[in-house]
A and B are shown apart, each in its own frame.
Chain A
């Protein structure tokens, strides 16, 4: 029987009333009296030396207040990077300066050269167009492998090469892995590209800087997933504003998907310029600007080898990945291909030997950083593809091959430094198979063939690490931040309460689901609970929302704070009822004394706390407000099994997704409706990556997919009705709610399902195609069926050399059965 309220119920999202009626209050809705507007002049070349910037004519234009260039930022810090990676030799990564406005060189199309502040946005835009930037074109490096070759042009002249770091993980495993592979009965090798993506949140980024002379304080309104992190990074590292003089507000935010985690130059600019000009300064990104200034996602080129013994036990995994950093290091960029990717290379499997090598590379492209899943989709994709390929090579059932190698005993310490606390991968696979009628597939395939179509079935598992993260652990791994979360619960005299959380909701529905948890703990109505987030002025220091961490970490902090509230309230109740504190029980909003009929209501206690006439003042303070910080002692490990059926039109190469099923284990679930919505959204983005989305540069570094005319977003009609299930629940063992996180699973688990299914379909039609790089557009699929693989004008790398599908994805004779 579904519950109506509290944990496990599916009340409608309270925030949707304002969102769906156009009443949301987004950053662009904030207009501060007297504000000026900034427009950035951005580079239209990928790489060039700035010989001069002539702003004289622009400065004379109507409405122009001031034009800024790099020289105005002497003495101001660069945009900091929040994670330092140590390379295989024990040296720190190469970390170039990331100026607010380009200094000396431009390094990607979209790199800001000058900022025009004017009375109106149009005036600023008009003036930006007449600035003359004298830029000497330099050769651009786009392809990562060419970028690290001898003699390649340097993105940063002061670095020794374009290699940010060469990371080995776990370096001590390397020899054992090499031995296991050379002695294996079978090795399957796959080279692949994890395609570069643009996050494309519905709301473009916006920043409004404001400065108050009367108390020398700055306020930044910004589209951020983590306002406290922006306050710390921008205040301490860029503008030298102490945190007590800086307020960062992230109000309603229209989607983030990772790309609004990072601290961006435009935020620092607006805050800086507001003080310089003593006027509020506002920037609103256009969609075109977003394509060339929001951090991109993914962009890995990987070679993976999977070794198996004669009984098909996985004996080793070895990978070599080139990870694109873009032109500068975005806030968490170095951590994505390393700790968020390497630690997941065991997947759901008990492979004993694993070695991951990652070369992070600077190129003349937009910086790349976390995007929904961040490292984990890259890990899952290569592993679940190579397993499928191995099953095909060995002629075994891909589901049975996975089951044979599943981790089944928990806790399980992987060879890549993490410990899975709990899980049941066979349970989610069983559930999945019960959802998809695998036995009926052969008949469905025949039916498709009768219509001239090729039908394929793709099945895979996934695991991810969420709830980041234990602060001490990530500190050892190079994080320059703690990754706890905070909450303050402020109970009012009349019994209602406000939770100020360091988590941030930008579509996740926290205002509804967080209220369910607190209301359930106390036994009051959910409308008695208000969730407040997104303002450093009222919330305790929080680390924000990403990595599916909000409920697991932020929710845990909220539970801890609420537990403190309840403990204090019980003391007050005990006093009011002249009973022993240990006998007090709280149920359905009433305090009772065990074994008696005495009771007081929640509201009686909260009133007593603020009107302490009859109150144990010698023992406790008046008031009812508590703060908790929660630092997890492990990651959480959501996992599951996904399946999809596709139909390929062999004449055109077009792929239609006919069915998609997801069986997830998220541990306990607070609001099943919201969880399903999160999975639906994740699946849409994962399927988008697999079939549609491709951020492509040409050899000169021009962005080919710079608008929706060329960047294909998934739309409703591209997707089937999803079957989603989260009834398999192995609760997380180390957080109080037993929750794991659900925000990224769909985007992590679904790309291999799609590609596995398409490859299956092509093989059924007699096409021996080992792999096709995402996105599997009609042209790419058709070319693969013809035995070729056109790069279609994109300068981004193919995985292997050569022009045939086989050469690109398998390499030259690396696959061998010994």
Chain B
């Protein structure tokens, strides 16, 4: 690890201000960033720890019935507190990493990092969530469809913090993941959500462009909410899938179908 300064603000406003410093970077639960720093693959002059900001922690309901999760809320908290209000999301959060990761890692950190194999981006995109970004110019609302811009890339601007993620609750939903044997991240995972006005399907782990909506499956499932509706589809283009030691594009494309059908069956 390289030397750095650490500040730990108590309020969102202080954190936004601290991130204005030259070469400053936000530090959420640190479950990706700390190992990367230890490997000397990440460095910044100043890290702004978000873990002391109470106002971005916790889960509540807004007037529209959306579940609002503070950006600094840990996976373990979401797994516990959303178990009844949004079981599919709670199940997603409860299967990230291991207990140590779940008690440190946060939804805001996961979404801001947008690892192509992370779980939360699929939950947010599949749920049509809204991401609240707090920056020097105030608060922005960003639809999940506009937020995830590709591998490790999001619509967040320099200095913005994910303060909250708002999830509409679907009629039925499920997250099914097939883990990569070494990292235990998703090799391919599918989040399916059935709303009154249609179905959303978000896929993580598979694409070299990061999380994506599988629109063919959404259309088919909107017309016929059944695993068989997925089985009849052509798998996504293998050429656009990640290919590595753990599975080539053809295998991942195949798993997209399998995991989506299983998610529908289990929803």
Contacts and interface: CB of A to CB of B under 8 A. Distances in A.
Interface stretch (A316-324, A510-518, A760-768, A789-797): A789-797
A710 interface: yes
B178 interface: yes
The residue among A651, A653, A779, A782 with the most chain B CB atoms within 10 A of its own CB is A779
B247 A778 contact: yes
A692 B181 contact: yes
Interface in B164-192: 178, 181-183, 187
A708 interface: yes
Contacts of A122: 1
Interface in B238-259: 243-248, 250-251, 254-255, 258
B39 interface: yes
A288 to B, nearest CB: 7
A783 to B, nearest CB: 7
A792 B182 contact: no
A610 interface: no
A710 B183 contact: yes
Given A778-B178, A779-B248, A792-B248, A651 B183 contact: no
Interface string B89-118: 000000000000000000000000000000
A395 B160 CA distance: 68
A696 B245 CA distance: 8
Nearest to B178: A652
B243 to A, nearest CB: 7
Given A288-B39, A652-B255, A779 B246 contact: yes
18 contacts: A129-B40, A288-B39, A651-B258, A654-B178, A692-B181, A704-B245, A708-B183, A711-B182, A712-B182, A713-B182, A778-B251, A779-B248, A783-B251, A792-B243, A792-B246, A792-B247, A793-B243, A794-B245
A721 to B, nearest CB: 21
A129 B40 CA distance: 10
Interface of B: 1, 39-40, 178, 181-183, 187, 243-248, 250-251, 254-255, 258
A709 B251 contact: no
Contacts of A653: 251
Contact of A709 (B183, B247, B248): B183
Interface string A640-655: 0000000000011110
Given A652-B255, A652-B258, A782-B251, A777 B243 contact: no
Nearest to B188: A652
Nearest to A790: B248
Contacts of A778: 178, 181, 187, 247, 251
Interface in A707-741: 708-713
Contacts of B187: 778
B247 A694 contact: no
A777 B182 CA distance: 10
Interface string A285-308: 000100000000000000000000
A692 B250 CA distance: 20
Contact of B245 (A651, A708, A783, A793): A793
A288 B251 CA distance: 29
A710 B182 contact: yes
A649 B41 CA distance: 38
Nearest to B252: A779
B182 A705 contact: yes
Contacts of A777: 181, 246
A645 B244 CA distance: 29
Nearest to A288: B39
Q: 7 closest Cβ contacts across the A-B interface?
A: A712-B182, A779-B247, A712-B181, A709-B183, A779-B251, A651-B258, A790-B248
Interface string A672-710: 000000000000000000011010100000001100111
Contact of B182 (A125, A654, A708): A708
Main secondary structure of the interface of A (DSSP, over half): loop
Contacts of A782: 251, 254
Interface string A107-147: 00000000000000010010001000000000000000000
Contacts of A792: 243-248
Contacts of A652: 178, 255, 258
Contact of A710 (B178, B245, B254): B245
A777 to B, nearest CB: 6
Contacts of A694: 245
Contacts of B243: 792-793
Nearest to B39: A288
B262 to A, nearest CB: 8
Contacts of B250: 790
A782 B1 CA distance: 41
Contacts of B255: 652
Interface in A747-785: 777-779, 782-783
Contacts of B246: 710, 777, 779, 792
A635 to B, nearest CB: 36
A705 B247 contact: no
Contacts of A705: 182, 245
Contacts of B258: 651-652
Contacts of A125: 40
A793 B244 contact: yes
The residue among B178, B181, B251 with the most chain A CB atoms within 10 A of its own CB is B181
A580 B255 CA distance: 83
Contacts of B182: 692, 705, 708-713
A797 to B, nearest CB: 15
Nearest to B98: A715
A782 B252 CA distance: 11
Given A654-B178, A696-B245, A790-B250, 14 more contacts: A652-B255, A692-B182, A705-B182, A709-B182, A713-B182, A777-B181, A778-B178, A778-B251, A779-B247, A779-B248, A782-B254, A790-B251, A792-B244, A793-B245
A550 to B, nearest CB: 32
A288 B36 CA distance: 12
A711 B248 CA distance: 17
Contacts of A712: 181-182
A411 B248 CA distance: 51
B263 to A, nearest CB: 13
A691 B251 CA distance: 17
A539 to B, nearest CB: 38
Contacts of B245: 694, 696, 704-705, 710, 792-794
B206 to A, nearest CB: 13
Contacts of A654: 178
A792 B248 CA distance: 6
A659 B244 CA distance: 30
Contacts of A692: 181-182
Nearest to A779: B247
A123 to B, nearest CB: 11
Nearest to A651: B258
A793 B243 CA distance: 8
A694 B245 CA distance: 9
A474 to B, nearest CB: 38
A779 B182 CA distance: 13
Contacts of B248: 779, 790, 792
A142 B258 CA distance: 36
